[in-house]
Structure 1
Amino acid sequence: MLIIIKPSTQKKHKKNCTWLLEQCQKRQISYTVFYTTGHFTNDCQKITVLAQSQKRVVVLGGDGSLHLAVNALMGLSCSLALLPQGTGNDFARGFGCSNSAWRNAIFSEHQVKIDIGQINSRYFINIAGVGFDAHVVQALQTKPALSALSYSLAGFKCLFVYQPSRLAGSFAGQQCEYGNLITVFANHHYFGGGLMIAPKAQLNSGYLECYRVPTRGLLGNLYSFVRLLLRKHHGMKELNYQRLEIAYINTPDLPIEADGELVGVTPAVVTIHPLALRFCMPQC
């Protein structure tokens, strides 16, 4: 077993780390521990090398650590387990499971093949986006959110200074251009520290759920944001929702976020890799 740990001083994090290492020793499971450094490319390469000889990889961290592991493990045969330890834990939130359920899944044989998205060279397990969500992620680079609530509050504040751009692209073969507030590609339900953008998303559907919300001025954007907070956005007539396998964003120099990480700029190609990764599914 390869255990990927994002270092933290939080008591819960230390407790879960201690528990996992004790369980490995108790079950006579050999393990290697890798501590992330924050240098994505170097960490990704090292994890790929270490994981080639492992049966299972366990991530103790949040969406960013999970994103790192997914990019390192694509194409390998090992399975992936998660013990959520992050600020937002948006991917884990989509299961609604307790900490004990996630713990049990680490040693379970209940593995399910799930889809993995890709935007340019980066893979993502949860959600990727271009627009306001990427702007928030970019703003939080200098002052990270301390909780899911602070992430949502930061997003609300960013609405007042966000300058939307026009976006041109092709979505499932349909050409369009619009003033973009949010354009996201969802493999699972939540993003932004607990906002359920994609309630219909399934991890093994073979499709990404695409949500495009046009900008409508400050008041209109605030209205859209509140509808999203209240999970009422599917009833918005302005919303363009579709399931797709591929999309192209042609407009250059727009920031891209994937799994809550800033991963580059457009233009971009977005695709889905069906059943590409074996995931240890928690039993809730």
Structure 2
Amino acid sequence: MLIIIKPSDKKNHKNSVDWLLKECKKRQIEPELYLTTGKFENDCADITHLAKNQSQVVVIGGDGTLHLAVNALMSSRCSIALIPAGTGNDFARGFTCKKQAWYEAVFNSRTELIDVGQINQRYFINVAGIGFDAEVVTQLNKAGSFSSFGYTWQGIKQLFSFRARSLQGEFNGKALNYSNLATIFANHHYFGGGLKIAPRAKLNDGQLDCYCMPAGGLLKNLISFLYLLLVKHHSLHALEYTQLTTAEITTKGLAIEADGELVGFTPAKVKIHKQALRFHVP
């Protein structure tokens, strides 16, 4: 078993690590620990190398640490278990279960094959986005603050300063050109520290739920954000919602976020890898 840990001094994080190590000792499992450094490419290469001799990987961290593990393990046969210990935990939130269920899933042989999205060269397990959400992630990185409240507050602030740009793309063969507030590709339900962007998404249906949300004036943008907070955005007249397997954004220079991490800029090609990852479902 390879255990990937994002270093943290939070009490619940320490408790999770202590519990897992104690359980490994009880079950006579010799775990190998890897502490992430924050340098994505180096961490990814190290984890890929270490996983060659393992059958299971356990991630103790949040969406960013899970994102790292998924990118490192896409060519591996390892199963992945998660103990949520981040600030947002949006991927874990989509399972609506208690912490104990995640603990039990680590040593449970019941696994499921789930889909993984890809945007350019980066894989994502939860949500990727272009536009407003990527700008919020940019500002949170600058502030060094990540929390559900922080995302919502930063989102409200950015609504007053966000400058929408035109986006051109092809979504499952359909060409669209619109002033972009947010273009979201969702594999699971939540993003942004608890915003339920994709209530219809399924992890094993071989599709991404795509939301093309056009920008308007300040009032229209505020209304769109409010509808999103209330999970009423499917009723927005201007929203273009579809389920797809491929998409291509041809506009250049728009920031891209994936699983809450800044991963580059457009142009971008998006696709889904059906049942690509074996996951310990709680």
TM-score (normalised: structure 1): 0.98
1:45-101 deviation line (CA, Å, top 9, x unaligned): 000000111110000000000000000000211100000011110000000111100
Q: Give the C-alpha shift of residue 35 in structure 1.
A: 0.2
Segment of structure 1 superposing worse, 179-188 or 151-160: 151-160
Amino acid corresponding to residue 49 of structure 2 in structure 1: V
What is the match of residue 61 of structure 1?
Answer: 61
Structure 2 CA distance for aligned equivalents of residues 154 and 182 of structure 1: 15
1:264-279 to 2 correspondence within 5 Å? 264-279=264-279
Q: Is 1:31–2:31 an aligned residue pair?
A: yes
1:248-278 deviation line (CA, Å, top 9, x unaligned): 0000010000000000000000000000000
Amino acid corresponding to residue 58 of structure 1 in structure 2: V
Cα contact 1:116–1:276 (8 A) shared by 2: yes
What is the match of residue 48 of structure 1?
Answer: 48
Structure 2 CA distance for aligned equivalents of residues 260 and 144 of structure 1: 13
Segment of structure 1 superposing worse, 242-251 or 144-153: 144-153
Q: Give the C-alpha shift of residue 176 in structure 1.
A: 1.2
1:102-130 deviation line (CA, Å, top 9, x unaligned): 00000100100000000000000000010
1:172-194 deviation line (CA, Å, top 9, x unaligned): 00111100001000000000000
Structure 1 CA distance for aligned equivalents of residues 155 and 183 of structure 2: 15
Q: Is 1:153–2:163 an aligned residue pair?
A: no
What is the match of residue 101 of structure 2?
Answer: 101
Cα contact 1:87–1:145 (8 A) shared by 2: no
1:1-284 to 2 correspondence within 5 Å? 1-282=1-282
Amino acid corresponding to residue 249 of structure 1 in structure 2: I
Segment of structure 1 superposing worse, 183-192 or 156-165: 156-165
Structure 2: segments with no counterpart, 5+ residues: none
Cα contact 2:140–2:146 (8 A) shared by 1: no
Structure 2 CA distance for aligned equivalents of residues 38 and 181 of structure 1: 29
Cα contact 2:207–2:243 (8 A) shared by 1: yes
Flag the 1:266–1:218 CA change in 2: closer, same or farther, 3 A.
same
SS state of the match for residue 176, structure 2? strand
Question: Among the aligned pairs, what percent are the same residue?
Answer: 58
Amino acid corresponding to residue 267 of structure 2 in structure 1: P
Structure 1: segments with no counterpart, 5+ residues: none
Q: Give the C-alpha shift of residue 146 in structure 1.
A: 4.2
Structure 2 CA distance for aligned equivalents of residues 208 and 25 of structure 1: 40
Amino acid corresponding to residue 214 of structure 2 in structure 1: P
Amino acid corresponding to residue 55 of structure 1 in structure 2: S
Amino acid corresponding to residue 143 of structure 1 in structure 2: A
Q: Give the C-alpha shift of residue 15 in structure 1.
A: 0.8
Cα contact 2:164–2:180 (8 A) shared by 1: yes
Cα contact 1:135–1:255 (8 A) shared by 2: yes
Structure 2 CA distance for aligned equivalents of residues 41 and 222 of structure 1: 37
Structure 2 CA distance for aligned equivalents of residues 127 and 147 of structure 1: 17
Q: Give the C-alpha shift of residue 151 in structure 1.
A: 1.5
How large is the RMSD of aligned CA atoms in angstroms?
A: 0.6
1:178-225 deviation line (CA, Å, top 9, x unaligned): 000010000000000000000000000000000011001111000000
Amino acid corresponding to residue 108 of structure 2 in structure 1: S
Structure 2 CA distance for aligned equivalents of residues 10 and 146 of structure 1: 14
Cα contact 2:212–2:241 (8 A) shared by 1: yes
Cα contact 1:105–1:280 (8 A) shared by 2: yes
SS state of the match for residue 142, structure 2? coil
Structure 2 CA distance for aligned equivalents of residues 176 and 242 of structure 1: 12
Q: Give the C-alpha shift of residue 30 in structure 1.
A: 1.4
